[in-house]
Amino acid sequence: MRLRTTTSLALLAAPAIALSACGGASTTTSTTSTASPSGSASASASPSASQASAPDPTPAAQGDVPGVTVAGTKDKPTVTVAKPPLTTKTTTAKVVSEGTGPVVKASDMVVANAIFVSGKTGKTLEDTFSRGTPQQIPVKGWLSGVAKGIVGQKAGSRVLVAIAPEDAFGAEGNQQAGIGPNESILTLVEIQKVGFKGEACKVVTSPDGLPQVTAPDGKAATMKPVTTPAPKQPTLYVLKQGDGPVVQVGQTLSSQYTGMLWTNGTKFDSSYDNGGQPVPFPIGVGRVIPAWDKCLTGQKVGSRVLVVAPPADAYGAQAQGKIPANSTLVFVVDLVKAQ
């Protein structure tokens, strides 16, 4: 299993706006070549795994944001400050339009678009609507004020948030992002989805149609291929149910795993072949293949699971070492510890 290079909201124009200070403002441009999901890629801009244990954000005060107008079109909204500078001492959220989806919780991953505007100058700092690039970020990975503004809101909503300096970059500001000391920020967030991009993980209760695997304790798993078509969406089957806590987005998950090709059962990677120790990696934050993020979050520590990763939720059209392009992958994963 290889870590993936990731990008986070606002990394292109204003690298540190969406992410809190502990999430970091820089990104890496290469993936690790080792089969282990640890190593140099841990310094990427993905939100810190420690955010899973951080205090949940307190929902922002609800109210109007005087002097700020939201206009434009559905696909290209605008946020205008009538008379900058605008300052606020309390982070305040206003629902511009309410969705009908599930309510956002602090532990959730969300897919969202956002515009960030300087309260001091009224200039747009970042706009993912205009680029057509909604981003997938854990709630706790956002700037504190944004997290406060979207917690408790429904998916599908557009929320205007006036962020107080203490919930942004405080007295230091952020020169790289063009934000001065003690500057308030405005953001319009469209919460498109609670969860991950693409199709969700399908959890099945029967192994019918899935490869038959043999997974002895302490050894790499093996599998007997099947002739049935591979699933088109990431799929999970619980081989052994654990009794530990549920794995949450943003935690560091330690696991033992074996990866095999759906077509012929060829093993391409196993933690047992690389020292035999459980391998830690951030989960749910885009640092591993999407099938792992989608399927392993929500499972209990102590479980052994079978995960099928179709190409779109694995490495797609890009070959990876022993993995041919457009391969469906099969993993047997033991969830050892999450923290």
Cβ atoms of residues 14 and 126 within 8 Å: yes
Looking at the 3D structure of the chain, how many domains does it have? Answer: 2
In a shared domain, residues 164 and 27: yes
Higher pLDDT, residue 133 or 77? 77
Q: How far is CA 123 from CA 72, 132, 293, in A?
A: 16, 20, 36
Is residue 136 situated within a structural domain?
yes
Q: Among the three residues 145, 160, 194, which one is the final residue of a domain in this structure?
A: 194
- Find, among 100, 128, 107, the residue nearest to 12 by Cα: 128
Peptide bond into 85 cis (omega under 30): yes
Q: Among the three residues 194, 219, 249, which one is the final residue of a domain in this structure?
A: 194
Q: Which residues pair with 320 in a beta bridge?
A: 323
In a shared domain, residues 97 and 229: no
Instruction: Tell me the CATH number at 304.
Output: 3.10.50.40
With the C-alpha atoms ordered 333, 336, 338, 339, is the resulting torsion angle positive or negative? negative
In a shared domain, residues 219 and 290: yes
Mean pLDDT, the chain, integer: 86
The secondary structure element, H or E, covering residue 92 is strand 92-97
- The torsion defined by the Cα of 112, 325, 288 and 167, in degrees rounded to 10, comes to -30
Model pLDDT for residues 53-69, shown as the tens digit of each residue: 578 899 999 999 999 99
Model pLDDT for residues 132-163, shown as the tens digit of each residue: 989 888 998 899 999 999 999 999 999 999 99
Range of the domain at 220: 202-338
pTM value?
0.75
Is residue 176 situated within a structural domain?
yes
Report the alpha-carbon distance of residue 331 to residue 339 in Å, rounded: 22
Q: How far is CA 305 from CA 20, 241, 337, in A?
A: 33, 8, 14
- Find, among 173, 199, 200, 162, the residue nearest to 79 by Cα: 162
In a shared domain, residues 25 and 122: yes
In a shared domain, residues 164 and 76: yes
What are the start-end ranges of the H helices in the chain? 128-131, 144-150, 290-296
